[in-house]
Amino acid sequence: MDIFLQQIVNGLTIGSLYALVALGYTMVYGVMKLINFAHGDLVALSAFAGLTVYTNIFADGGTSIIAVITVFMFTAAIIAVVGVLLERLAYRPLRTAPRLSAVVSALGAGLVIQNAIMLIWGPNMKIFPSDLFPSTIYEINGVVITFTQLMILIFSSVLMIALYLFINKTKMGTAIRAVAIDQDAAKLMGINVNKIIMIIFIIGSALGAVAGLFIGIYYRGITFDMGWMYGLNAFVAAIIGGIGNIPGAMFGGLMLGLFNALISGYISSAWAETFTFMLLIVVLIFRPTGILGEKVAEKV
Amino acid sequence: MNKTSIISIGFIAVMSVFPFFADSAWLAVGITFLVFSVVAFSQDIILGRAGAFHMGHAAFFGLGAYTTAILNTHYGWPILATWAPAVIIPVVVALITTAPIIHLRGDYLLVTTIGINIIFLQILENDLFGITGGPNGIFGIDVVKLFGYEFFDQIDMYYMALILLGITLFIMKTLDGSKFGRAMFYINKDDVAAQSMGINIRYYKLYAFAIGAGLAGAAGSMFAVQYSAVSPEAFDVLQSIMFFTIVLVGGSASLPGVLLGTFVMFVLPEIFREFETARYLIFGLAMILTMILRPRGIWPVKFGNIPAFLKKGKK
């Protein structure tokens, strides 16, 4: 029972990270109908950029709450700028092109970011400092939860609730939903579609950046090519939840995190991805548009 | 004699005499080019013609390679005898794995086919049946032997691969005018209209996967013999992405396009090997630029609105 509860805690932690990354995928997909294959690499870039920001600005050790907040804000801003540039340079010229052309462009962009990371930071694994968060451990009935895990759970919940309110309660959020439903009609209603897409890339990339930093802090070791696997898992999570659907991405992320943790705990982590994709296939056989996805026919 | 035939005869002539001018390093590149273009054509049947977003083709390619490797090293089959299973097993596996997901639309199919590739890879790496050699793969695959003659030379390999490409091109040409090819054409253009004309989309898409997997398996078998070894990382998702990209960068459903795509995506990086580390950065930039400048590929197929086989006075 202890192992089970422990895996639940671990699963929710990983699941929150998946959910943060999945939100970036699902928002871009919802509006542009494009799998942003470069998104996972943005997450990896964030971990490396955050590491550099931290070691350069706070090299003298003093870890304060201000230092951590600065690292997060600064890194998120950098990644948001990269995300906007990505959309401008690689996706906007292809908005009217056949869908698969944009997919190839996204794959190319992912390759560029991944190899840029390798050229800048080198091909070897980098280790995140362990002193960003205090190493306090809480133990409740034999279930261990670290301070980092607690921060991940709290911080990602806050971000997700904030995003949910932003999308559903604000004027800007309404505009985003309108663009997702019908770009042309939204344009006729006076919505600046380019601006909305830019905002989506800012939010999505910033959320991915937060996830990337947490991945660095939680797992410590970061590699230039790690973005692909996190990205793929997060994308699968977005599909399981129902792509284009924001609560769906959160739900899918948490569900996949829990599923992965239980598979790793009870079967074997060597088969984790096999089970992930089997889950995906089973979900899609019964719910072709994901668990929370609406039943809509593809636009002709 | 039209332009297409002149180009094809020119291509075949150049490819036939290539080994006499190439050193062994370039000959190896040439063989891999031939093998990869066969795989690219098989990907094109599924992606470019049937219009199924398929990004797991390295699994079928690898299945062919591993079939030959396992039957040869573990069970002592001669390479020639493994050719048939190296085609049949990928076909069967493709049918079993894609049948439940063939109805998925666009991007959903794309992600599940990536999944097929990843599951295949994990089976290889975790050595599920104890015959795949785990992460190291299998070494010491035999050469092709026929009537006591051993085709161990690189030039022999090259011509075998060229013959395989010739067979593939013949199949591709035949497809265009066949019932299957016409059905594919309509499904790709407009699947709702095709369905209302009585075309069974599910059947033809599975058919496309079966042919594609079979050809990829044949190429995989040749790939295994060329390197006399197979290992999992040659068949990972990156490889699938490469085949996927070859078709779209070259021009989907276009024979010269796919050949050109293979050349651009595979041979050019070999030429720029000196740049070593920055190679894939440039490669990625080139992918973006190509798509922006030529969204339908470098050498797109010229369909009028009326396909050639419907025009009067042409056979």
For A185-216, what is each residue's pLDDT tens digit? Answer: 999 999 999 999 999 999 999 999 999 999 99
Q: How far apart are the first and last CA of chain A?
A: 51
User: Does residue B88 sit within a domain?
Assistant: yes
Domain extents in chain A: 27-234
What confidence score (pLDDT) does residue B188 get? 85
Q: What would the mean pLDDT of A106-127 be, rounded to a whole number?
A: 93
> Looking at this predicted complex, what is its ipTM?
0.90
Within a domain: B275: no
Q: Does any domain span residue B18?
A: no
Please determine, for residue B305, whether its predicted confidence score (pLDDT) is greater than 50: no
Q: Decide if A274 and B119 are in contact by the 8 Å CB cutoff.
A: yes
Residue A147, min C-alpha distance to chain B (Å): 34
H or E, element range at A273: helix A272-286
- φ/ψ region of A68 (left if φ > 0, alpha if ψ in -120 to 50, else beta) reads alpha
CA distance A112 to A206: 19
Query: What's the predicted TM-score (pTM) here?
Result: 0.91
Q: Worst-scoring range by mean pLDDT, A210-219, A222-231, B3-12, B56-65?
A: B3-12
For A276, name the nearest residue in chain B, comparing CA atoms only.
B115
Complete DSSP assignment for A187-213: HHTT--HHHHHHHHHHHHHHHHHHHHH
CB contacts of B112 in chain A (<8 Å) are 277, 280-281, 284
Check pLDDT > 50 for residue B112: yes
| B304 located within any domain | no
**Exposure string (b/e) for B241-261, b if CB count within 10 Å is 16 or more?**
bbbbbbbbbbbbbbbbbbbbb
Domain with B206, as residue range(s), is: 24-235
Q: Is B270 a member of any domain?
A: no
* Position A299 pLDDT exceeds 50: no
Give one DSSP letter per residue of B37-78, joined into a string.
Answer: HHHHHHHHIIIIIS------HHHHHHHHHHHHHHHHHHH---
Query: Which pLDDT band, with edges at 50, 70 and 90, does B11 fall under?
Result: confident
H/E segment holding residue B139? strand B138-139
Q: What is the DSSP letter of B138?
A: E
Q: Indicate whether B71 belongs to any domain.
A: yes
Strands B144-146 and A143-146 come out as: unpaired
Question: Is it the case that residue B279 has pLDDT exceeding 90?
Answer: no
CB–CB of B295 and A235 under 8 A?
no
Among A54-68, A142-156, A222-236, name the one with the lowest average pLDDT. Answer: A54-68
Cβ–Cβ < 8 Å for A5, A143? yes
Q: pLDDT at position B313, please?
A: 58
For residue A298, pLDDT over 60 is answered with no
Which H helix or E strand runs over A146?
strand A143-146
Classified as helix, coil or strand, A127 is strand
Q: What is the per-residue pLDDT for B19?
A: 84
- C-alpha closest to that of A205 among A231, A226, A238: A231
Given a contact cutoff of 8 angstroms between Cβ atoms, the answer to whether A105 and A37 are in contact is no
Spacing of C-alpha A123 from chain mean position:
23
Provide the number of structural domains found in chain B: 1
Q: Is B1 on the interface with A (CB under 8 A)?
A: no
Cβ–Cβ below 8 Å for B281 and A98: no
Residue B295 within any structural domain of the chain: no
> What mean pLDDT is predicted for residues A99-126?
93
User: Does residue B306 belong to any structural domain of this protein?
Assistant: no
What does pLDDT average to over chain A? 90
The nearest CA of chain A is from the CA of B8 a distance in Å of 27
Q: Say whether A111 and B296 touch across the interface (CB within 8 A).
A: no
| CB pair distance less than 8 Å for A274 and B104 | no
B168 touches chain A (CB under 8 A): no
pLDDT per position as a tens digit, B294-304:
988 888 877 54
Please state, in angstroms and rounded to a whole number, the distance separating the CA atoms of residues A174 and B219. 52
- Give the integer Cα–Cα distance in Å for B116 and B109: 10
